[in-house]
Structure 1
Amino acid sequence: MKGLQLLATGGALPGRVVTNEDLSRQVDTSDEWITTRTGIRQRYCCTESEDAATLAIAAARQALARSGLAASEIACCVAATLSAPTATPSVACRVQAALGLPENRPAFDVNAACSGFIYAIAAAHGLLNTLGGRYALVIGCEALSRMVDPADRTTCVLFGDGAGAAILELAEDVPFAVTLGARGSEAIRVGGPAACDTAPITMDGKAVFRFAVETMPRCLQTVLERSQKTLADLDWVVCHQANSRIIDHCIKHLHAEPSKFYKNMDRHGNTSAASIPIALHEMVENDLLHPGQTLACIGFGGGLTWGGMLLTYEGRK
């Protein structure tokens, strides 16, 4: 089966920056308390005119422009989000309309929380292999600031908003592997019986930490085994940016080189499904990703879900 390679990225951040100092005036917390426990120093939050869909459209438009492709060449559009502004139309359908993607191609959302971008890429890979086509647009986007209790210091300090998009190409003879999994649990819960905004995000922090430090190394090792690679073969490991301590624990467990593990949660916080694509876009913008490099992307989060993927970058900037 053909694999996927990453051609181009796009990103979009909302207009409001919220620092730890800002939050310390809102709840009983401090910059030191947040930073030492999470590595987060600030996050971006949507203004009244912004939501997950507007950010997704901006990121997707940038990725498409940088790919050099025409909208007519995109064979499918998959958006990963748990904070879409409406159940329908989906974010992906809003992107389809805004970018003028062909109407005879699939466009839909997936919700696997913080693993969503990996799930969405896996779905796009399957669509290209079964329905035909060469290029896929995959987006991760969130507006989580509207889904937290501003008085709950255990969650309001963690989450931020943003979007990242990727254009992927189906190609022969490229290193590619994917693993996905789920363990039904309410350690992370969002929403009530009627709609997602009827109850805020709640989290059992200790349970989630234990889950993450167990799952992340195992997920990465599975990807390496399936691709017949070793950690030494990877140029980068891009994990979901939930907590610096989780990534550090994985590095220690694997006896890995810390410089291979990209981190940006200090600037963005936890952006759930947008986390990995925002990181990829930052890496491209900062000339950290170069054509021919191999990277593993690892996601884990609510559901509980996890996913890992090995990709090559053949970028256009």
Structure 2
Amino acid sequence: MDMSAPTDRPGRPSIGITALGSYVPARVVTNADFEAYMETNAEWIESRTGIRERRFSAPDEYTSDVGVGAVRDMLDRDPDALKGVDAVICATVSPDALMPSTAALIAMQVGLTGAAAFDLSTACSGFVYALSVASGLIQSGAAQRVLVVGAEALSKIVDQQDRGTAILFGDGAGAAVVGPVPAGLGFQEFIMGADGAGGSSLYLRNVAPHLPGGFEMGDSVGMNGREVFKFAVRVLGDSGQKVLQKSGLTSADVDWVIPHQANVRIIEAAVERFGIPMSKTVINLDRYGNTSSATVPLALREAVDDGRVQDGQQLLLIAFGGGLSWVAGTMKWWAGAPSLKAKAVSTLAGVEA
């Protein structure tokens, strides 16, 4: 599915990100922590994934809590960031509840009661999916500004005894306001897709005990790592190439790739497919692991804070997730709002040094 958000459509404003915030829980879980109860070692984990540590939420800290943390970080940077927001989308696969939506719970706590609110569930591709949906809502006139939150408390739904998944995932959140930006900047094109036939490679049971066709699901995140790896390398490379072509761009035009932070080997193989060097790729999974829908905004927030992403630069966002799903988007970065300015940061996303 191709979904366009032209930056120069006559009579309509250009649409992009007008505010950013991020949050990660305080608890750091290192690779060495798994050695105490699992047949693994820190070097093995890092060599195969690129991950050194991740964050786990507190026992009483859930997805709405980390999402609110990201929004509050945004408001600390820009108290007017939510002005005019009339819709909230939360991309998550670890919602507090099936109903009410986590988006509604976040909206209630950040002063947006009455705004339209709903959750979007495409796992790790969710945040970029939600940016496209938000852009479409604004272009159609259904919303003026949209708060998009990618938030996860994956430590609550991952079997911590399963070496195939426990070592990969962490908790965190990123938040962005989508709204009008100056002409020539903002979102350019989006490409989205999904293939339910791959659902048995990455899944989480909710109601049904099995998928269509009879595949039995367990009660925690299940993953066929080998199949997901092959899928991810292919769709990240292909969707990246397609969205660049649709945008009238080439790999040489890209200043920064902001990829889903699943596995450094996946990222290396994917960007190689469309000829963009790793030196132009934002990586922070070494410190946060795979936070699913939160990875792209966490990486973007960090790259903006440390000055890598600057006004007018060309960005390529790529992600894959459960479904199996994929998404890619292009955008010209606008750095004109208070929360989009570079600032010195510590290793905690969204926290000043």
Match of 1:157 in 2: 167
Match of 2:212 in 1: none
Q: What is the Cα deviation at residue 69 of structure 1?
A: 2.7
Structure 2 residue matching 1:47: 3-state secondary structure: coil
- List per-residue Cα deviations over 1:232-259 (Å, max 9, x = no partner): 1111101100000001112322232221
**What is the alpha-carbon distance in structure 1 between the residues aligned to residue 38 and residue 14 of structure 2?**
47
How many residues were matched structurally?
A: 315
Question: Which of 216, 224, 248 is residue 228 of structure 1 equivalent to?
Answer: 248
Structure 2 residue matching 1:314: 3-state secondary structure: coil
Match of 1:182 in 2: 194
CA contact (8 A) 2:241 2:274 kept: no
Counterpart amino acid of residue 240 in structure 2: L
Match of 2:134 in 1: 124
Match of 1:75 in 2: 86
Q: Which runs of 5 or more residues in structure 2 are unaligned?
A: 1-8, 210-216, 340-353
Structure 1 residue matching 2:167: 3-state secondary structure: coil
**What is the alpha-carbon distance in structure 1 between the residues aligned to residue 145 and residue 75 of structure 2?**
10
CA distance 1:87–1:192, shift in 2 (3 Å):
closer
1:1-317 equivalence runs, <5 A: 1=9, 3-67=14-78, 69=80, 71-101=82-112, 103=114, 105-171=115-181, 172-174=183-185, 176-184=188-196, 185=198, 186-193=200-207, 199-315=219-335, 316-317=338-339
Structure 2 residue matching 1:155: 3-state secondary structure: helix
CA distance 1:71–1:165, shift in 2 (3 Å):
closer
CA contact (8 A) 2:144 2:179 kept: yes
**What is the alpha-carbon distance in structure 1 between the residues aligned to residue 161 and residue 27 of structure 2?**
19
Counterpart amino acid of residue 204 in structure 2: V
Q: What is the Cα deviation at residue 51 of structure 1?
A: 1.1
Q: What is the Cα deviation at residue 114 of structure 1?
A: 0.5
CA contact (8 A) 1:190 1:199 kept: yes
Q: Which runs of 5 or more residues in structure 1 are unaligned?
A: none
* TM-align CA RMSD: 1.9
CA contact (8 A) 1:7 1:313 kept: no
Match of 2:344 in 1: none
Q: What is the Cα deviation at residue 11 of structure 1?
A: 0.5
Structure 1 residue matching 2:163: 3-state secondary structure: coil
**What is the alpha-carbon distance in structure 2 between the residues aligned to residue 192 and residue 296 of structure 1?**
33
**What is the alpha-carbon distance in structure 1 between the residues aligned to residue 297 and residue 31 of structure 2?**
24
- List per-residue Cα deviations over 1:203-225 (Å, max 9, x = no partner): 11110011011101111111101
CA distance 1:192–1:99, shift in 2 (3 Å):
closer
**What is the alpha-carbon distance in structure 1 between the residues aligned to residue 172 and residue 289 of structure 2?**
10
CA contact (8 A) 2:175 2:297 kept: yes
